[in-house]
Structure 1
Amino acid sequence: MPRPLARRTLLTAASASGAALALAACSAPGGTAAADRAPAAATPRRGGRLRALFAGGGADETLDPHRVNLFADAARAKALHDKLADWGPDLAAVPRLATGWEPGPGLDVWTVRLREAAFHDGRPVTAADVLYSYRRIADPKRAFRARASLEPIDLAASRAPDPRTVEFRLNRPCAEFPNILAAFGAYIVPEGTEDFRAPVGSGPFSFVSFEPGRALLLRRFDGYWDGAPHVDELEILAAAEESARANALLAGQAEYAHELAPATARAHASGGRIGIVRLRNSAMQGFVMKTDRPPFDDPRVRQAFFHLVDRQELVDGALSGAGEIGNDLFGKGSQYYPAGLPQRTRDLDRARALLREAGAEGLRITLDTSPVAAGLVEAAGILKDQAARAGLTIEVRVGSKDTYWKDILDGGVLASFRSGAMPIESHISQRLLSTSTTNATHWRRPDFDDLYTQAQSTADPVARTALYERMQRRLFEEGGLLVWGFADWIVGHAPRLRGVAADAPANTLDWARFDKVWLA
């Protein structure tokens, strides 16, 4: 088999075609209507190797699906493995390895039926595999991201009445149990699996080889329960720099490039050399403020930052206008999002007054950022200028692309942040509870945890919505997440790659789904 594309090869391609890209950007038309369309429908064709580029995580990358964190991790995991459910384009849970689920009358027992599916080595997927996987994720000695999502399940009491039935017993009633099954990273692996150097899953592709920081090579799994993929092989390549991904695509070294910049999309919207798919409002963009340490342990300083930000300037500058402004809350447009809250606008007088009250005038702060994702460094520079207008001095510190997300989880006080789509309930459970493993703002409030538990136990949707609104209103006033925008996700593809979903926000079922695409 041909060797995977090395990072050096990709960077060489970027250098070779950079001038052409810059020239196209200067002469591109202003409109992007052509960039919003998926490839034209056609009869799927079988065969070929699909090469897909993502921003990688460096030499520390792993194929353990329970350790997924980056979008590249998620793309690899969903190619190799399956979850019981996944999120549809509207962020509602849809069955995958599960054929369905049924609650008991008290919402504290849920019965899940499994479909007939097989692992790559021929073993059937059973209830024992499901319970093993969930118990592994929930192990308190590990820091798996989905652990907080599984917290409502009493895994010691849950059981398998037969090989294709799982009876989940919960610690408390949970009206939104299907979201747990679809949680980010809640993949099912064969019972007893701990070694993921050559992983066995039940996904559409089976393992061939893996070089961390460079490439994962997979082949079609003909026994996949949802139909064998059209392509023979899938190669997921790592290229941290957006220019490397774009130019490797232009040079014919890849057929799919994830997360391209808006300027790239504008440059090639009508040129015909690459296709552009724009996934609307797929990524939340913001800054995290550590609520447990100075200066952001004072809520007045957090509120001052909410007021000093010009969100439209950030969308225009960091996203080149490819998105819309946020209002300091996750999940705009999703269920439980409090759309009735007033839209914050820049109010420098209010920001200065709050800083005076907190004794924080003339504050100097270090802002961590990284080119690990498009727009993060640009947003940091814009915030630095905006803060200066309120009398604050921000020093921008650019961190490693390979370790950035890990570094900012517990380090520093202020950092650039972004997230893909997920239900608001899942966002809260993974990032805002005292036990959440990816709580980058260090927002830990027992009474907030209690409200979440109460909402989960409330069967009436109107009453449950009211509880979520209480939580959201508190985060709006006191939280540590400054959400300035929601970015369009931009995917580039070779013209011969067909079937790329055009309505699949990041983290949803059809995003980065390579079993349904084909090479014409």
Structure 2
Amino acid sequence: MYEERFPVLHRRGFLAAGTGAAVLALAGCAGGGTDDEAASGDGPPKRGGRLRAAFAGGGASETLDPHLANLFADVARAKALYDKLADYGPDLAARPRLAEKWEPNKTLDRWQVTLRKATFHDGRPVTAKDVLHSYRRIADPGKAFRAKASLEPIDLDASRATGERTIEFVLKRPTAEFPNVLAAFGAYIVPENASDFDKRPIGSGPFRFVSFAPGRSAVFRRNDDYWDGAPHLDEIEFVVANEESARVNALLGGQVEYAHELNPATARAHEGRGRIEIVRLRNSAMQAFCMKTDRPPFDDRRVREAFFLIADRQELVDGALSGAGEVANDLFGKGYEYYASSLPQRGQDLDRARALLKRAGAEKLKVTLDTSAVAAGFTEAAGIFRDQAAKAGVTVDVRTGSKDSYWSDILDGGTLCCYRSGAMPIEAHISQRLLTDSTTNATKWHHKDFDAQYRQAQSTRDKSRRAAVYERMQRRLYTEGGFLIWGFADWILGTARHVRGVETKAPANTLDWARFDNVWLA
């Protein structure tokens, strides 16, 4: 099971340098100005130059097939070459992209989508047939395409093109948040006859294919006919550096202009020092402990509430995230559309926690907390929470599992585990993780009345009334749910001083994250 909504960056594949600490030896030259020019202010966007962006990669098995995108590097390359019908804004609400507009029927089980006028890189128009071909390809039961589960609400056999640029999507049930399906991670539109994705990929995105060496680099050139306006850059080169030290040294040495996924220690060492710019994407990763609500001791609501009160969230953020984040309130999606911001911030209350445990007959509770080095901060968070729990009389045994099998191991096994998730709409978090039949329901939250509330929300056309239903659902999760959500981590990037246009308010995996068509070299 792979539960994070942004990928785990596996430490495998080609490292362009000889060692993780070495400087990358990269081909090509960058555009842009001197440090003095960079320091003189932003100014208007400038056209030209090649920006080199360093990402952790996937080795020789990498592909440009956008429906197989899994790692951050895959997604960044895919969004440079391809488009989706919609994508997520900073608040995780769906924004139109290739879809110019969408309109439901009264019962919310049929949606009419109108495409904007856009062309593929070979000059052919993007049509309704291309969209249906792409979605049917993703839904192929014999393939493991990432967006398959997200497209499940669509009856693709019944859906049809009603014109060259219009599609009637027939749904299996009322779905008020259908635009989230159009924006699903990996739901890229490819031409109806697309086949050779690694040698001649054709999309409708802001850059055209030039070259691709799996595990090494990919070079794309500006698409002057892009429907959303031609990029400022002449070219973008994605280079692979699996070790953070290699990405940082390449950035410091002027061999790349953009370095993805830096750790908090690196950010502290360089922020405000003038050599590089540090960009923090807030609210990019939910950090949590996951309690199994269908088995002892967490089948007792009082024990779950006690654990909510045991957590010192600020200490967890400071220790496990090195301060690179903010405290959470046991609810997913802080700052996102529909987030229940009116609920009071929960703090540590050890006296009340001990009283709840006593009433539950669990004064000397012992529980195993599963963790792993699969994600940054997991082992640190486990140790911190173990010490916090001891103050409430709870013994927490930390068990460290395999990085390779951690996500599948914790889905059904154990009682308490470390957990995280990237950005996704609150509706998607509920539907994928909290319904009785959700395939990634790691807390085993099984409540038919909660399922019914979700169906009510999805069949409610009026947005304010729908928001009220989501708030009631979140209030229940806040009171008795199985996710102890203690923090939201920053996602940290580094850029050269002369790079401009990098969005600073877009969580990872949203529209403006790694959106290089808006970037320029000053």
- Normalised TM-score (structure 2): 0.83
Q: 1:432 aligns to what?
A: 434
Secondary structure of 2:489 counterpart: strand
Q: 2:157 aligns to what?
A: 156
Q: 2:55 aligns to what?
A: 54
Q: Distance in 2 between matches of 1:376 and 1:474?
A: 27
CA contact (8 A) 2:317 2:323 kept: yes
Q: 2:333 aligns to what?
A: 331
Does 2:152 correspond to 1:169?
no
Which of 11, 22, 26 does residue 13 from structure 1 map onto? 22
Q: Deviations over 1:410-432 (max 9, x none)?
A: 56554433333332112223333
CA contact (8 A) 2:443 2:482 kept: yes
Q: Which moved more, 1:434-443 or 1:391-400?
A: 434-443
CA contact (8 A) 1:455 1:468 kept: yes
Structure-2 change in CA distance of 1:239 and 1:368 (3 Å):
farther
CA contact (8 A) 2:14 2:241 kept: no
Give how far 1:160 is off: 0.1
Structure 2 counterpart of 1:269, one-letter code: E
Residues 125-144 of structure 1 aligned to structure 2 (within 5 Å): 125-139=126-140, 144=145
Q: Which moved more, 1:333-342 or 1:431-440?
A: 431-440
Does 2:320 correspond to 1:318?
yes
Q: Distance in 1 between matches of 2:63 and 2:294?
A: 31
Q: 2:258 aligns to what?
A: 256
Give how far 1:136 is off: 3.4
Give how far 1:66 is off: 3.2
CA contact (8 A) 1:63 1:77 kept: yes
Q: 1:266 aligns to what?
A: 268
Q: 1:78 aligns to what?
A: 79
Secondary structure of 1:72 counterpart: helix
Residues 59-208 of structure 1 aligned to structure 2 (within 5 Å): 62-139=63-140, 144-191=145-192, 196-198=197-199, 199-207=201-209, 208=211
Give how far 1:69 is off: 4.3
Q: Which moved more, 1:335-344 or 1:65-74?
A: 65-74
Residues 276-425 of structure 1 aligned to structure 2 (within 5 Å): 276-292=278-294, 296=298, 299-355=301-357, 357=360, 359=362, 361-370=364-373, 372-373=375-376, 375-390=377-392, 391-397=394-400, 399-400=402-403, 408-409=410-411, 413-425=415-427
Give how far 1:95 is off: 1.5
Q: Distance in 1 between matches of 2:90 and 2:351?
A: 41
Q: Distance in 1 between matches of 2:141 and 2:131?
A: 18
Q: RMSD of aligned C-alpha atoms?
A: 3.3
Q: Which moved more, 1:424-433 or 1:94-103?
A: 424-433
Residues 446-485 of structure 1 aligned to structure 2 (within 5 Å): 446-485=448-487
Q: Distance in 2 between matches of 1:144 and 1:445?
A: 29
CA contact (8 A) 2:84 2:98 kept: yes
Q: 2:35 aligns to what?
A: none
Structure-2 change in CA distance of 1:5 and 1:337 (3 Å):
same
CA contact (8 A) 2:382 2:398 kept: no
Give how far 1:471 is off: 1.7
Identity percentage of aligned residues: 66
Secondary structure of 2:167 counterpart: strand
- Normalised TM-score (structure 1): 0.83
Structure-2 change in CA distance of 1:241 and 1:136 (3 Å):
same
Q: Distance in 1 between matches of 2:174 and 2:467?
A: 16
Structure-2 change in CA distance of 1:471 and 1:437 (3 Å):
same
Give how far 1:346 is off: 1.7
CA contact (8 A) 2:329 2:346 kept: yes
Give how far 1:121 is off: 4.1
Q: Deviations over 1:327-375 (max 9, x none)?
A: 11111133322223232222334444555526583424142232544x3
Structure 2 counterpart of 1:268, one-letter code: H
Give how far 1:405 is off: 5.0
Structure 1 counterpart of 2:258, one-letter code: Y
Structure-2 change in CA distance of 1:341 and 1:178 (3 Å):
same
Secondary structure of 2:517 counterpart: coil
Q: 2:5 aligns to what?
A: none
Give how far 1:144 is off: 4.6
CA contact (8 A) 2:338 2:467 kept: yes
Q: Distance in 2 between matches of 1:99 and 1:185?
A: 19
CA contact (8 A) 1:384 1:396 kept: no
